[in-house]
């Protein structure tokens, strides 16, 4: 009625409070946004999830501060975005929670408690799967006082800034992504990578995906190759493929296209594997670093 003041009921006040979290683009970064005022330990409303998903597509990397959540809450939040993918290295699953991969340089009783070199080269998580990951959610557990940063590259911008003749060369091309290819290279760098069992090898056969990927939610084009998992481009001689992949990698990770995330206690970082790559050098063993990761299944790349 005209001239009256609407009163907030407890239910409407609660609903209003849910949408007060802030999404702020990271200063002087080519991608990424920080989300504050949101508690991931509670179930989120669909409107909140829609805002988060839209921000993920727009910014590529989302940083949620001060998330004191349990593994169960981590998994529950991740599942709101799609089915979760279980990593083939079951040795490093969190006990009772196979959806969580432990990323850690900590050694206990002479054995690593997690995947020491998970980020040892630039890659997009699980690009070697028929349905690569939509996104990964990494929650900090124990952080060193120095080092331990994770870097992210904007693959939309990497594609957009390619020379026209390179774009033409790549149009319609497909590239092979292989978990075994990366695993065997990293075995030479890390003493902690035991040989894969035949069952593990059979679980991750090679796949091929478009070199230029169309993002299913934004329609934008992104490069979808990495030094980590991409072994070669189909239809090219090996030397030409190697040279082109080397060029694409160096082009993608130029300083102006990379955001370096300096972890804070209880950070949750959610990144879009369809439009970003990431890299985290192996942290020296005396600087203890442990994080928990889930990965959300995506779509067959277009």
Contact indicator for 227, 249 with CB cutoff of 8 Å: yes
Output the six-digit token pair for 89: 């290295």
The confidence score (pLDDT) of residue 40 equals 97
Q: What is the rounded CA–CA span in Å between residue 116 and residue 107?
A: 9
User: Among 193, 213, 232, 293, which one carries the catalytic annotation?
Assistant: 293
Stated length of the chain: 302
Output the six-digit token pair for 227: 């030094």
Res. 61: pLDDT tops 60: yes
| Structural domain boundaries in the chain | 21-297
Look-up of token digits 């408690």: 113
SS3 of residue 67 by DSSP: coil
Contact indicator for 123, 278 with CB cutoff of 8 Å: yes
Comparing 17-26, 38-47, 138-147, 269-278, the range with the smallest average pLDDT is 17-26
The confidence score (pLDDT) of residue 19 equals 53
Comparing 4-18, 120-134, 247-261, 285-299, the range with the smallest average pLDDT is 4-18
Look-up of token digits 């370096």: 260
Provide mean pLDDT across the span 165-186: 96
User: Among 74, 123, 182, 209, which one carries the catalytic annotation?
Assistant: 123
Q: What is the rounded CA–CA span in Å between residue 119 and residue 129?
A: 18
User: Among 121, 125, 267, 272, which one carries the catalytic annotation?
Assistant: 125
27 is catalytic: no
SS3 of residue 59 by DSSP: helix
Output the six-digit token pair for 160: 């957009």
Output the six-digit token pair for 75: 């998994």
* Distances, alpha carbon 23 to alpha carbons 13, 51, 215, 258, in Å: 21, 9, 22, 20
264 is catalytic: no
Q: What is the rounded CA–CA span in Å between residue 201 and residue 228?
A: 17
Res. 9: pLDDT tops 80: no
Q: Where are the alpha helices (DSSP H) in the chain?
A: 10-18, 46-59, 71-79, 155-160, 164-170, 179-187, 198-203, 238-252
Contact indicator for 263, 103 with CB cutoff of 8 Å: no
Contact indicator for 199, 97 with CB cutoff of 8 Å: no
pLDDT tens by residue, 119-139: 999 999 999 999 999 999 999
Question: Whose CA is closest to 298, among 217, 203, 198?
Answer: 217
| pLDDT band (50, 70, 90) for residue 193 | confident
- 147 DSSP assignment: -
User: Among 87, 232, 278, 289, which one carries the catalytic annotation?
Assistant: 278
Res. 279: pLDDT tops 90: yes
Q: Which CATH architecture has domain 21-297?
A: 4-Layer Sandwich (3.60)
| pLDDT band (50, 70, 90) for residue 189 | confident
Tell me what the pLDDT averaged over the chain comes to. Answer: 93
pLDDT tens by residue, 196-255: 999 999 999 999 999 999 999 999 999 999 999 999 999 999 999 999 999 999 999 999
125 is catalytic: yes
Round to the nearest angstrom and report the end-to-end CA distance of the chain: 52
Contact indicator for 222, 275 with CB cutoff of 8 Å: yes
Question: Whose CA is closest to 273, among 223, 198, 203, 202?
Answer: 223
The confidence score (pLDDT) of residue 76 equals 98
293 is catalytic: yes
Share of the chain above pLDDT 90, in %: 90
The confidence score (pLDDT) of residue 192 equals 79
| pLDDT band (50, 70, 90) for residue 7 | very low
Provide mean pLDDT across the span 94-116: 96
* Distances, alpha carbon 171 to alpha carbons 70, 104, 110, 214, 223, in Å: 44, 39, 49, 12, 11
């Amino acid at each position: 009625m005209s001239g009256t003041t609407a009163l907030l009921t407890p239910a409407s006040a609660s609903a209003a409070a849910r949408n007060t979290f802030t999404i702020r683009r990271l200063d002087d970064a080519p991608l990424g946004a920080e989300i504050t005022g949101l508690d991931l330990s509670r179930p989120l409303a669909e409107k909140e999830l829609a805002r988060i998903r839209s921000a993920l597509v727009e910014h590529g990397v989302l940083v949620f501060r001060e998330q004191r959540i349990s593994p169960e809450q981590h998994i529950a939040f991740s599942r709101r975005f799609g089915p979760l993918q279980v990593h083939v290295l079951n040795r490093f699953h969190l006990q009772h929670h196979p959806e969580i991969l432990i990323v850690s340089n900590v050694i206990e009783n002479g054995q690593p408690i997690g995947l020491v070199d998970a980020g040892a080269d630039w890659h997009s998580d699980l690009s070697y799967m028929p349905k690569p990951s939509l996104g990964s959610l990494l929650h900090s557990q124990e952080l060193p006082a120095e080092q331990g940063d994770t870097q992210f590259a904007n693959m939309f911008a990497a594609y957009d800034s390619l020379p026209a003749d390179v774009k033409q060369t790549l149009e319609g091309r497909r590239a092979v992504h292989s978990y075994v290819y990366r695993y065997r290279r990293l075995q030479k760098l890390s003493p902690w990578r035991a040989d894969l069992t035949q069952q593990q090898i059979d679980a991750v056969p090679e796949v091929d995906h478009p070199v230029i990927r169309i993002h299913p939610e934004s329609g934008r084009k992104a490069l979808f190759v990495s030094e980590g998992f991409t072994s070669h481009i189909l239809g090219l001689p090996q030397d030409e493929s190697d040279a082109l992949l080397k060029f694409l990698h160096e082009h993608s990770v130029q300083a102006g296209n990379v955001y370096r995330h300096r972890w804070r206690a209880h950070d949750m970082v959610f990144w879009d594997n369809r439009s970003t790559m990431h890299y985290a050098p192996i942290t020296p063993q005396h600087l203890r670093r442990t994080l928990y990761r889930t990965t959300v299944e995506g779509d067959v790349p277009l």
